[in-house]
Amino acid sequence: MMQTHRRARHKEPETRKSLGIATAFSFSTNSSSSVSASCGLVKWCFSASQLVQLPYPEGGSEAVVVTNSGEPYIASLCRTHPPPRVVPLDPRLAAAMDRWALVVRNSTGAKGGLFTISTTALAKWQLLALTEYRAIFMVDLDVDMFLQSAGRPPADPRRVPAFRRTLVEGYQSFLRSTATLVASSDWHSPINTGVMMLKPSTSTYEQGLQTLEVGSFDFRNGFNAVGPPQQAFPWIKMAQNKSLVINGSQMARRNSWNFVGSSGDQGLFVYEFLIRQGAAAFEYSGRGNFGDQANLRAPASSSWMLDHFYSGYKPWRLTMRCARYFDFLREPAFVGVEGTQCHAILTAKASCLRPVKEMSVEACKECARLGQYATCEKNASGCRRKICDPVPRCPRWIGVHVL
């Protein structure tokens, strides 16, 4: 017994990995839309579990989920090996988010789905507090890390070099650099928070947290009355590629803080990293949604590209067709999530996206009854003739470079 006690007492403390592959979300399990959105966690966890088993990056990686939903709910959807680390939402941040939602609603009259999403997405700010990791790779639940390879890192020799280069050379270069945030733009905002690489910082976390605790917001002057975007940005300090991408965003074109995510995560990251820090430690990762308009860091052939299903174009929604997204359900390494609402949602969608030759008239009619867009026509009358979409198509997406 004494030997056992001695071994336990001198047990080596648990050490975290170099890179946290993370996602963050805050939602109510009483909301059907929130539960549906969380179904992206099933594939996210599968892909993350495959990713952390790779021998790179140096120092290893660990899957991390920051959420208010509790570990049992995450465990029900993430039956992976290894399982993700679940980090409870900081109570102080949760209170600040509640306070911020009231501030924005009272000052702008904003309400509805996009408003709710933008404020709950502020949970991402907690990633900056995870200083036990050298870096955090943030990936939203509506981002597919490996769409072309059934949710697993690519085995195709033509795709492996760019992927490996990102997590070896690109990652080490990021750690050595002065950059603390690397992200892409989108049509609305200079920073799309769906995919980011960042270095945790207690001081930056505290700064943003205080903004939510005591700050103000309106659509004209933004955070803490900093002013309209064209007056608020420190243009002189910005490199040409940053200025070009900012100019191309709806935020700058309309000279308004009324854009998607402006009062939430995207607006907060813009305010803290581009305005308050003068973009001094910010880098653009790639093409985002602007084509060749900007002078970009990396061509598509030299970096890892992820697929971001933006807005309402989520693969699990009734009106979407993206059969490729569901290939991971047939992977031997995937452990099913039977008994959950997400299992019903994902399997029903996958069933309606089977190849047309595998779909009977009865199966097609059942998809129509459920309101599912399928490989066969949604209208049940078309099922008799099996009028089919010849190639199940994926919704539009934004290709996002990592580094």
Q: Report yes or no: 341 and 318 within 8 Å, Cβ to Cβ.
A: no
Inter-residue contact 353 to 391 (CB < 8 Å):
no
Instruction: Kindly report whether the peptide bond that precedes residue 392 is cis, defined as omega within 30 degrees of 0.
Output: no
Give the pLDDT band (50/70/90) at residue 109: confident
Question: Rounded to an integer, what distance in angstroms lies between the CA atom of residue 90 and that of residue 367?
Answer: 42
Mean pLDDT of 117-127: 89
Phi, psi of 170 (to 5 degrees): -65, -45
Residue 272 Cα distances to 64, 211, 212, 262, angstroms: 23, 9, 11, 13
Site of tokens 């402006």: 262
3-state secondary structure at position 136: strand
Average pLDDT of the chain is 85
Is 90 exceeded by the pLDDT of residue 288? no
- How do residues 33-76 score in pLDDT, each as one tens digit? 777 889 999 999 999 999 999 999 999 999 999 999 989 999 99
Reported pTM: 0.89
Tokens of 157: 């020799």
> 């470079």: which residue's tokens?
401
Over 60: is that where the pLDDT of 391 sits? no
Neighbours of 377 (CB within 10 A): 19
**Do 125 and 209 form a contact (C-beta atoms < 8 A)?**
yes
Over residues 2-30, the pLDDT tens digits come to 343 333 334 434 577 999 999 998 876 55
- Scanning the structure block, which residue is given the tokens 């071994």? 7
Q: Are strands 282-284 and 181-184 parallel, antiparallel or unpaired?
A: parallel
CA angle 71, 139, 193 (to 5 degrees): 115
- Number of residues that this document lists for the chain: 403
Q: Which domains are assigned to the chain?
A: 19-312 (3.90.550)
Q: Give pLDDT, residue 234.
A: 79
